[in-house]
Amino acid sequence: MAEVSQATSRGAVFADKVRLGFVASPAPEAQAALKKFAKRYGAVDPSSATVIVALGGDGLMLSTLHRFMGTEVPIYGMHRGSVGFLMNEFIEDDLPERVANAKLSIIHPLKMQVENMAGETLNALAVNEVHLFRQTAQSARLSISVDGKERIGELVADGVLVATPAGSTAYNFSAGGPILPLKAKLLALTPISPFRPRRWRGALLSNKAHVKITVQEAGKRPVSAVADHAEFRNVLSVSIREERAIGLKLLFDPGHALEERILAEQFRF
């Protein structure tokens, strides 16, 4: 998700041609908005919509992005949940016109490939981040390679994560990692509560980097791997890279694009 292109959706999506499909979180305010919008603007099945309107918070947006991944249908979020970093302001009026004039951001997810202790190879995609975390009271013991070269022979920590620019304001930032500008062709590699080496605070990597994390003493110090909502336990190794074959389309109101939100987040106190 490191490279993002910004363009207007005008010319590709027009208010009089928009077919809106709605999805909503279970929250009462989101469900109420769903009924109101469907009645006011009409609604088609999301599978045949030209634009998906997601009503909820960032959790709902993430699940919607995963649900429609690969369809190339743009998603316009409206804040009806607890956290709305990826959402537009909730306004009831002129929804088709707002969608038609919205700015388009194209983001690329991370692909996680896991080898586990059962000998399985498992895959998942992440919009925000991939993270590894200890499963027991004992710290994880990990080694990290970038593009085939070992960079850390032993990281003793609760875990480690690789975040996209759009995901850099979430778990990555809470773990002490940097906020990345949306157009930066970078990924953030951030340790989670590191014990050794104590002074290592992470690294900035090219979005073309291939990161491999190997679990040492996996039987004694089991580790899980998580890509957004997909969790795999008892992993031996995890490979992470940007999946450029998939482009996720998000729509934002002018002046409130995702790039501006990430920049503004760096000046909040």
Q: Is 58 a catalytic residue?
A: yes
> Rounded to whole angstroms, how far apart are CA atoms 235 and 116?
4
Summarize the annotated binding site as residue ranges: 58-59, 128-129, 158, 166, 169-174
Q: Are strands 5-8 and 103-107 parallel, antiparallel or unpaired?
A: antiparallel
Nearest to 253 by CA among 87, 106, 127: 87
φ, ψ for residue 129, nearest 5 deg: -160, 160
Q: Which residue has the tokens 């409206």?
A: 78
Buried b (16+ CB within 10 A) or exposed e, 215-224: bbebeebbbb
Q: Which residue has the tokens 């909040």?
A: 268
Nearest to 121 by CA among 211, 232, 228, 216: 232
Overall residue count recorded for the chain in this entry: 269
Residue 172 identity (one-letter amino acid):
N
Catalytic residue among 16, 45, 58, 228: 58
- Confirm if 249 and 73 have CB atoms less than 8 A apart: yes
Summarize the annotated binding site for NAD(+) as residue ranges: 58-59, 128-129, 158, 166, 169-174
The DSSP 8-state label assigned to residue 122 in this structure reads E
Omega before 197 within 30 of 0, i.e. cis = yes
Which helix H or strand E contains 214, and what residues bound it?
strand 211-215
Burial class (CB in 10 A: 0-12, 13-18, 19+), 246: middle
Strand partners, 211: 146, 240
Helix (H, G, I), strand (E, B) or coil at 15: helix
Catalytic residue numbers? 58
